Structure 1
Amino acid sequence: MTYNSTLTKVFVYLLTSIEAIYQTSVPLEIQNRKNVHLATSDCLVITCYLWGVLHFSETLYNATKGQYFHGCKCHALVSESGYVIDYTITPALMADSSMTEEVLSQFGTPTVLGDMGYLGQSLHDRLELKGIDLITPVRKNMKQKKILFPNFSKRRKVIERVFSFLTNLGAERCKSRSPQGFQLKLEMILLAYSLLLKSAKSLEPETLRYSIGYQVMAK
């Protein structure tokens, strides 16, 4: 009885949150499209998917058999508070540094902490001209430099934790038949994660433990 009651509360919480986002963020031409009365509510469909993400529903990933598109990876810009604030999707074989300039230029944050995949003096120089300071560690076989950014290693681990959380929610199981399908599933996972993290922070403002959010939703 308690289990079923918890699931109901979580679903209602998600549906209410999605309805609020939908009303403020989705263009009216989509909300009022001609065939909207023939289909299930957009908010209900999105909520059902998110509910499945939170409960690790294998039907979301293995509903059909056949050839899947495998060839994308995600580059994300993550705030210190743990939110994914921008991202881009590239072919899996593309170097990590290739899209960095585009993503960082769009957001315009002055200081970014990256990993070794974003090494490269030319990239750093181009970003510096745009007022962006990209700070990365160096490989062991490279000339060591002193990193003056306070608590660099600890603060850079935030993005590693976030990607670990997204993996827990199924980001690495985003099977799809096209890049567009991959992006859609990834965005649903990002939305589920963001709602969980927001709920968690309503209880503990400094936390990165998104799973606490489920407890808040269930109250």
Structure 2
Amino acid sequence: MNVSKLVEIYYAVDEFLIKFMPYMESHLLPTSDRKPTRTCSLTLSEIMTILIAFHVIGFRNFKLYYIHLQQFHSNDFCKLVSYSRFISLVQRTVVPFYFFSQSLSKTRTGCYFMDSTAIKVCNIKRAYAHKVFKTIASKGKTTTGWFYGIKLNLIVNDLGEIMNFSLTTGKSNDRWPVENLCKNLIGKVFADKGYLSKELFEKLMGKGIELITQIRKNMKNAFMPIWDKLMLRKRSIIETIIDQLKNISQIEHSRHRSIPNFIVNLIAGITAYSLKEKKPAIANIYTTGLQ
């Protein structure tokens, strides 16, 4: 593992937490007077750095990755705790991780692409016996078939930057989280036929967002500017991003033992992608059409 990359990730995380943690602690609800007496040898910045780096370097098994850190990078951290102790600390990072991912630079280009992808939590044949995600997972269907799990909804810009994301149940309609995903954005959003809805189109148009989708076979042809047709053909950019999140990062696997750790792993994967210097993007010859 490149130590300079570890330092780079740690610096970005630590600079954010220095400002964020006092703000978060000032807004926490009061609890019992009893304060924890056990202190952790790893800082929150180090825990988050370890979780992000897992998605950067390409390990497919977190336990083997952590053993690798203990053997070859113990000097790069204050004091690495045992693997079981580290897993118990992961859930502490849920809130800071979400806000850190949202704080990363995102360019409002006015050209966006939206899609959803299935996050399988187990084989659908074992859905009846699955307990960890019983309260939030459900059976759903995509173009590739049935699955049991959760849907990750994404909106990205033409530079390959993830603008926003949300989680919904496997059986949820793709149109449900659209308004929240498009919050604070203005411009054109390109999506597949699953997002086709007159009511949704009018709601978004009132907020300065034009939702552009392909028409269904049983619908009449409507005039569409050549620019919009070109951008609809470029929707593969978000499919490429989803592929990188699942295969370079590892946001999808069936070994989770708690929901908070699942959420942290997913956000860590998205954060690792967002910190990449080179992202899939649409060539400048297309982006100039919005200027």
TM-score (normalizing by structure 2): 0.57
Aligned partner of 2:172 among 91, 94, 112: 94
Amino acid at match of 2:273: Y
Distance 1:129 1:137, change over 3 A: same
Specify which structure has the higher proportion of helix: 1
**1:52-81, Cα deviation, whole Å (9 max, x unpaired):** 1223333338999x8442432111111111
Aligned partner of 1:124 among 169, 180, 201: 201
Distance 1:185 1:27, change over 3 A: farther
Amino acid at match of 2:172: M
Distance 1:30 1:172, change over 3 A: same
Amino acid at match of 2:174: D
Match of 1:134, SS? strand
Deviation of the 1:180 alpha carbon: 4.2
Amino acid at match of 1:144: N
Contact 2:188/2:212, CA 8 A, preserved across alignment: yes
1:166-185 → structure 2 map (5 Å cutoff): 166-168=245-247, 169-173=249-253, 176-177=256-257, 180-185=260-265
Residue 12 (str. 1) matches residue 7 (str. 2):
yes
Residue 114 of structure 2 is matched in structure 1 by: none
Match of 2:252, SS? helix
Percent identity of the aligned residues?
23
Match of 1:38, SS? coil
Structure 2: runs of 5 or more not aligned:
29-34, 65-83, 88-129, 138-148, 282-291
CA distance in 2, matches of 1:171, 1:21: 23
CA distance in 2, matches of 1:36, 1:107: 42
1:39-78 → structure 2 map (5 Å cutoff): 39=40, 40-60=42-62, 67-69=131-133, 70=137, 71-78=149-156
Runs of 4+ in 1 over 6 A off after TM superposition: 61-64
Distance 1:99 1:36, change over 3 A: farther
Distance 1:14 1:61, change over 3 A: same
Match of 1:18, SS? helix
RMSD: 3.2
CA distance in 2, matches of 1:84, 1:126: 23
Deviation of the 1:108 alpha carbon: 3.1
CA distance in 1, matches of 2:150, 2:274: 22
Match of 1:97, SS? coil
Residue 208 of structure 1 is matched in structure 2 by: 280
